[in-house]
Structure 1
Amino acid sequence: MAQQAQSYDPTDLISVIIPANNEEPYIDDCLKALAAQDAAAGPVEVLVVANACTDRTVAFAREHTAAFSARNWTLTVLDLEEPGKINALNVGDRAATGCLIVYHDADIRCDPALLGQLREALSIEAPRYATGSLRVGPASSWVTRQYGRFWTKLPFVAGGAVGAGLYGVNRAGRGRWAEFPDIISDDTYARRQFNPDERIEVPAKYQWPMIEGFQNLVRVRKRQDEGVQELSEQFGSMLREEGKKPLSWRELARLAIADPIGFTVYSCVSLVVRLKRSNREWVRGR
């Protein structure tokens, strides 16, 4: 990992680290969106860290090399045999040379202004964390559309700087932790290295896909809840406060009245999650 920079300017390099495991359906759109970032992005290096892929993720990613070279940017595809997102993040960190680091899931699509706005937000010597404005992608299943619509209205999401699937830090901020530990929720772990006033949500959006179908929503939500519990148990005293008020019964009632169908679907998923046995196997975070 490069040494911490003492100052920032428009020529500083942004390193975008993309862990990827069997992302063949998504990696093309992901990289096309990055290559289409506006001029404010400045110099960029992209590292796709493919881990134990058995599909065409690596081949598809390498096909974008020329598009990045045309902008005098670099695209490096690392093909790891060892599986695991956390290992991929740590390998990417060791390879990154930028003063600003963006962690970017392979199924995310960024608006053209995002990297430039992240650059501006992170270009400060004090530790900073920044993300874009999350936009849930269009869903094909009825249940996911209802769940996603209600979820985006919850205080945790509506309050900003969620960073699900995409977040960036400057080198001073990245110095808050060493390697990523073997955990479920890397985005929550990174976000809570920072006080609420050190977290920034820029206006540019990024599209985050939500998994389709009731059973899949339950499975992913269970995994997400286990990730938060794991962090509390292992690092509770070390992490900053979330900085967002919990959902009150009055607020919940207001949301339920405004969107009764979404509330019903969300509540059903939450109830089944509580009844479901723990499963420590990895599941995709969508």
Structure 2
Amino acid sequence: MITVIVPAYEEEGIIGDSLTHLLRSKEPAGAGKDHPVEVIVVPNGCSDRTAEEARALAPDFAARGWRFQVTERAQGSKTAALNAGIAAATNPRLMFMDADVHVSPGLVAALAHAVDRPEPTYAGGQFRIRPARTIASRLYARFWPRLPFMAQGVPGCGVAAVNAAGRARWDQIPELTSDDMFIRNHFAPAEMVAVPETYSWPIAEGFGALVRVRRRQNRGLAELGEKRPDLVRNAGRTAPGAGAALRLFLRDPAGFLTYAAVAVTVRTPLFRLRGRWDRDRGAR
């Protein structure tokens, strides 16, 4: 069966909703008393009630017959939390899920089925961005999914699954910001499977927060290039060419200009990063 690993940093008021959506999931084929779904939440470096909020749902997971554990770590590190979750997992198939993701009812079952094969496989669903409050975030959220990297293939943002053969391709996830790209780029396009089921997550609110998130993404890719240049080469082209950029502009000028303004501002000293793992959600 499959183990869902949820690293969590300062997710009070958020983790409960995400786990509640997970509880509404359809049972994957083959799951049951002898082969239950397993959920491992790993709060790391939290100063709030993330762990307590997650543990409050333990009876609900038990009622479903799913294994459930919350393993706290003092160190604030998503990669260390992922490594701890992987080490604790008892199932050969793994699903990585950000703590602010809301899965649709069929996603877990679809991903479990997609990676149920002997050859190395990576699988992801169809992401949706939840409605934003600020104009900048609404425009950015409207445009960003149209970029070729996001619209084609399996980007794996926020949720991804691998099987045992795929997991065997790395030992430990190194300490870097772009953990999702580290995992994804171990797989060739032919080894990736996109399932039609959806999931959603919130976008950073406000122009400054968008800049900080984009800066962190750029830093993550730079770190990955320094530590594992072979994985960056596997990623392929992420930016649109001139022709694609023109088509994107003509389709959505306001979204394009917002995205471009964020990209330009990232190169300035404005809106410095607050912390390595801060998601810059703004007011909750």
Normalising by structure 2, report the TM-score.
0.92
Q: Distance in 2 between matches of 1:285 and 1:191?
A: 21
Q: Does 1:21 align with 2:15?
A: no
Tell me, which stretches of 5 or more residues in structure 1 are unaligned? 1-12
Equivalent pair of 1:156/1:162 in contact (CA under 8 Å): yes
The verdict on how the C-alpha distance between 1:245 and 1:182 changes in structure 2, with shifts beyond 3 A counting, is closer
How far, CA to CA, are the matches of 1:51 and 1:245 in structure 2?
A: 30
The correspondence for 1:233, drawn from 226, 235, 245, is 226
Deviation at 1:139, TM superposition (A): 0.6
Computed over aligned residues only, the root mean square deviation of the Cα atoms, in angstroms, reads: 1.7
Mapped to 1, the partners of 2:122 and 2:86 lie a distance apart of 16
CA distance in 2 between counterparts of 1:54 and 1:245 reads 36
Alpha-carbon offset, residue 35 of structure 1: 0.8
Q: What's the counterpart of residue 40 of structure 1? A: 28
In the TM superposition, 1:39-78 aligns within 5 A as 39-40=27-28, 42=31, 43-78=36-71
Q: Look up the match of 2:91.
A: 98
Greater shift after overlay, 116-125 or 76-85? 76-85
Deviations 1:260-286 (A, max 9, x none): 111111111011012248859414346
CA contact (8 A) 2:122 2:192 kept: yes
Match for residue 172 of structure 2 among 146, 160, 179:
179
Identity level (%): 41
Alignment of 1:1-286 (within 5 A): 13-40=1-28, 42=31, 43-238=36-231, 241-243=234-236, 246-276=239-269, 281-285=275-279
Instruction: Tell me the SS of whatever aligns to 2:260.
Output: helix
Provide the C-alpha distance between the structure 2 equivalents of 1:47 and 1:69, rounded to a whole number of angstroms.
Answer: 13
Cα deviation code 1:92-130 (max 9, x no counterpart): 111111111011110001000001100111000000011
> Could you tell me whether the CA contact under 8 Å between 2:143 and 2:255 is conserved in 1?
yes
- 1:169-220 deviation line (CA, Å, top 9, x unaligned): 0011000000110111000010000001111111101102110000110011
**CA gap 1:100/1:276 in 2 versus in 1, 3 angstroms:** same
Alpha-carbon contact 2:9-2:277 (below 8 Å) kept: no
The residue matched to 1:70 in structure 2 has which SS? helix
Give the TM-score taking structure 1 as reference length.
Answer: 0.91
CA contact (8 A) 2:123 2:193 kept: yes
Tell me, in whole angstroms, the C-alpha distance in 1 between the residues paired with 2:232 and 2:242: 27
Tell me, in whole angstroms, the C-alpha distance in 2 between the residues paired with 1:123 and 1:62.
29
